[in-house]
Amino acid sequence: MAEVALSAGFTQQVTLIAGLRWRLFRNSLRTTSGKLDLLALTLVSALSGFAVAGIGLAFAAGAYYIVAESKLRLLVLLLWGIFFAWHFLPVLLATSTASFDFRNLLRFPLRFSVFFLLSLAYGLFDPVAVAALFWLVCIAVGISLARPDLLPWTLLIFVLFAAMNLLLSRMIFTWVERLLARRRTREAVWVLLMLVILGFQLSGAFVESWSRRVAPVALKLPPIAGFLPPGLVGRALASAARGHAAEALSCATLVAAYGLVFALFLRHRLRAQYLGEDLGESQAPASAPAAHCSVSSSTSFASFSSSFLRAPVAALLEKELRYIRRNSVLLMNLALAPMLIGFFAVFWSRPQGRPDLFARSPELMFPSALAYMFLLLSQLGNNAFAYEGRGIQLLFLAPVRFRDVLLAKNLTLGLIVAGETALVWLLLSLLLGSPGAATVTATLAALLFAMLVQFTTGNLLSLCYPRRLEFGALHRQRAAGMTMLIGLLVQIALFGLVGTILLVTRRFGGMWLAAGLFLGLSAIAGWVYVVALERCDHLAGDQREVLTSQLAR
């Protein structure tokens, strides 16, 4: 009689999965595109590594100075920096992590402990987490060089702090993913977010009007912050430095307690996933009354797009807007730029919060804000087919030239950029005062030039290095390595060129000269765009196998 297979143990399962990942990685190098991907990722990592190393050096020097000068209370500032970087940067850089969905492994008899560990492991290998850990090591080195006797305490407390941060980051992602997955909770999150923004803006006025009443509350904030993880870690190290071991230990225990609480919340979420939770949109009941199935095509935008565009382009544009509306993570990315710009504008609009630079030159804010917005939005065009899935086949089967498909995608992104530009201008004009006509013209011309360059390179990258992204997923998303590398180089080149022109024209002729130059460059970029768009038609034909195999998996 056949024997029933025994289920594999914890270590064996972890080893098997690590082996699987290694094999997947090795097999991915069989193709030229896989090798290019690795090469590009290595280069991007090296470029980012310089920035991370530079910040690490500053952290180490800062920690050394703080401990050597016995100003240990300042250490908490460095720890808050790392804390914010660990939990906020991944939201801003949601397209840079691994793309393997380990939930696929759940069809095997996988232990929950292994599933939990895998989740943590993926959090640990997140680029931001790696950078944050490196900075923690730098701070530890700085402290130890100044006070070698603090090394054991530093190690103990930092290990707890790192573990707590890892658990917190995973907890945030799993819960946010859960909340954004369903329409009702997603809408609740959006409403909450808007209320927070509105509340912040109102609080600015409130603080100014009622500063006397609010002041005592504000003064209580630092002690409260002292009981939050970074504050506790700072206090633990300060206590250890003074030789108060019991106090240091109690602070370390509280950090561990935070970690435990986060672990419990994370466990709750992962347990639901482990048991087969479906994060898809909830279905309408089968018994729902049969409604007429005409599409809501009589909207004003639909009529508008149809009257100006060819039928397929208009259809594609509407489809793109529908996809964006249904992709909560993408929506969040789109909303991020105006939200952050609005946040800072409110901060700078308050007399006590306005740095001198912007106080003297409010016109600097408009170009800076648009540059920041371009930085965030432009990446979306580099992997334009990311969410098409098997639908990409229809784009090849339909009697439509691929230049029209790309044109519709460029139009969509262009409309979003135009809308957000108007919003940013409105926000800044209301809060900081309207920038001059020359500044506005030069900035818009520069943006036009940058967008045309971005469209051209983005179209080529989208066709040559497509990468499927999971719709609405917050994590496990990364564009192809070559896309990231070339996209980064294009941005560096664009910022270098625009910056140089602004510097030179400021000396010789002012912003109107810059505007003229940018308009000239835009005309050239526009011509290149049209030529490239025509070539993309042929390129798409050559790349159809790559596109369908990558996207229609």
Partner 1 sequence: MTQPAVVTENLTRRFGELVAVNRIDLTVGAGQFFGFLGPNGAGKSTTIKMLTGLLAPSSGRVRLLGLDLEEHPIEVKRQIGVVPEGLALFERLTGAEYLNFAGRMYGLDRSTAAQRTAELLDFMQLTDRPKTLIADYSHGMRKKLALAAAVIHGPRILFLDEPFEGVDAIAAGTLKAMLTRMISRGVTIFLTSHVLEIVERLCSHVAIIHQGRLVAQGSLEELRAGVASSASADGSHGVGFSPATPGERLTLEQIFLTIVGQEASLRRADEELSWLR
Please pick, from the candidates 276, 291, 355, 507, the single residue that binds partner 1 as defined by CB under 8 A.
291
Q: In the range 226-245, which residues lie near partner 1 by CB under 8 A?
A: none
Helix (H, G, I), strand (E, B) or coil at 470: coil
299 vs 477: CA distance, rounded Å: 33
Position among 388, 424, 439, 453 found at the interface with partner 1 (CB under 8 A): 388
- Does 292 bind partner 1 (CB under 8 A)? Our answer is yes
Q: Tell me how far apart the alpha carbons of residues 252 and 258 are, in angstroms, rounded to a whole number.
A: 10
- Residue 474 sits in the site that holds partner 1 (CB under 8 A): no
Among 302, 375, 415, 546, binds partner 1 (CB under 8 A): 302
Nearer to partner 1, 392 or 479 (CB): 392
Q: What number of residues does the chain have?
A: 553
Does residue 323 touch partner 1 according to CB under 8 A?
yes
The C-alpha angle 20, 24, 25, rounded to 5 degrees, equals: 115
Mapped onto helix, strand or coil, the DSSP state of residue 110 is coil
Q: Of the two residues 36 and 302, which places its CB atom closer to partner 1 in the complex? A: 302
Written as six digits, the tokens of 520 are: 């000239």
Dist CA 283 CA 264 (whole Å)? 30
The pair of three-digit structure tokens given for residue 428, joined into one six-digit string: 């800044």
SS3 478: strand
Binding segment for partner 1 (CB under 8 A), chosen from 161-169, 323-331, 443-451, 521-529, is 323-331
CA distance 459 to 329: 22
Structure tokens at 40: 């590009």
Give the nearest distance from C-beta 464 to partner 1 in angstroms: 16
State the minimum distance, in angstroms, from the CB of residue 551 to partner 1. 10
Q: Which is nearer to partner 1, 224 or 290 (CB)?
A: 290
**Applying CB under 8 A, does 293 fall inside the site for partner 1?**
yes
Print the binding letters for residues 326-345 with partner 1: x by CB under 8 A, - otherwise: xx------------------
Of 319, 368, 414, 429, which lies in the binding site for partner 1, with binding defined by CB under 8 A? Answer: 319
How far apart are alpha carbons 455 and 451 in whole angstroms?
A: 6
Stretch touching partner 1 by CB under 8 A, among 32-40, 336-344, 369-377, 391-399 = 391-399
Identified binder of partner 1 from the candidate list 24, 92, 205, 311, rule CB under 8 A = 311
Tell which one of 350, 390, 506, 538 touches partner 1 (CB under 8 A).
390
In whole angstroms, the minimum distance from the beta carbon of 185 to partner 1 comes to 17
Q: By the 8 A CB rule, do 129 and 83 touch?
A: no
- We find the least distance from the C-beta atom of residue 332 to partner 1, in angstroms, to be 16
Q: Is 316 a binder of partner 1 (CB under 8 A)?
A: yes
Distance in Å, CB of 474 to partner 1, minimum: 16
Q: Which is nearer to partner 1, 187 or 208 (CB)?
A: 187
Minimum distance from CB of 473 to partner 1 (Å)? Answer: 13
Interface residue with partner 1, options 77, 198, 359, 398 (CB under 8 A): 398
CB closer to partner 1, 77 vs 311: 311
**Residue from 461, 458, 463, 454 nearest 522 by CA:** 454
SS3 7: coil
* 548 near partner 1, rule: CB under 8 A: yes
**Exposed/middle/buried for residue 422 (C-beta within 10 Å: 0-12, 13-18, 19+):** exposed
Q: Which of 177, 318, 363, 420 binds partner 1 (CB under 8 A)?
A: 318
* 399 near partner 1, judged by CB under 8 A: yes
> Across the strands, what pairs with 478?
96
The answer to whether residue 307 forms part of the interface with partner 1 (CB under 8 A) is no
Q: In the bound complex, what is the minimum distance in angstroms from residue 480's beta carbon to partner 1?
A: 21
Residue whose C-alpha is closest to residue 318's, from 297, 292, 333, 349: 297
Q: Is 315 in the site for partner 1 (CB under 8 A)?
A: yes
Structure tokens at 530: 């049209």
How many residues lie near partner 1 (CB under 8 A)?
50
Residue 283 vs 300, nearer CB to partner 1: 283
Residues with Cβ within 8 Å of residue 230, at least 6 apart in sequence: 76, 79, 80, 82, 83, 161
6 binds partner 1 (CB under 8 A): no
Between 418 and 457, how does the x/- string for binding to partner 1 read (CB under 8 A)?
Answer: ----------------------------------------
Binding test (CB under 8 A) with partner 1, winner from 152, 222, 353, 391: 391
* Non-local CB neighbours of 519 within 8 Å, separated by 6+ positions: 445, 448
Cα dihedral sign, 240-244-245-246: negative
- Helix, strand, coil shares, percent, the chain, to 5: 80, 0, 20
Token pair listed for 413: 């992104």
Element (H, E) at 210: none
Interface pick for partner 1 out of 194, 394, 430, 531 (rule CB under 8 A): 394
Contact 114, 10 (CB under 8 A): yes
CA atoms within 13 A on the CB side of 59: 24
Nearest approach, Cβ of residue 469 and partner 1 (Å): 12
CA 44 to chain centre: 16
- Of residues 391 and 520, the one with the C-beta less far from partner 1: 391
Q: What's the rounded Cα separation, in Å, for the pair 431 and 342?
A: 9
Q: Restricting to residues 250-289, which ones interact with partner 1 according to CB under 8 A?
A: 280-281, 283-284, 286, 288
Give contact residues for partner 1 (rule: CB under 8 A): 1-2, 280-281, 283-284, 286, 288, 290-295, 297, 302, 306, 311-312, 314-316, 318-319, 322-323, 326-327, 387-401, 471, 541-542, 544-545, 548, 552
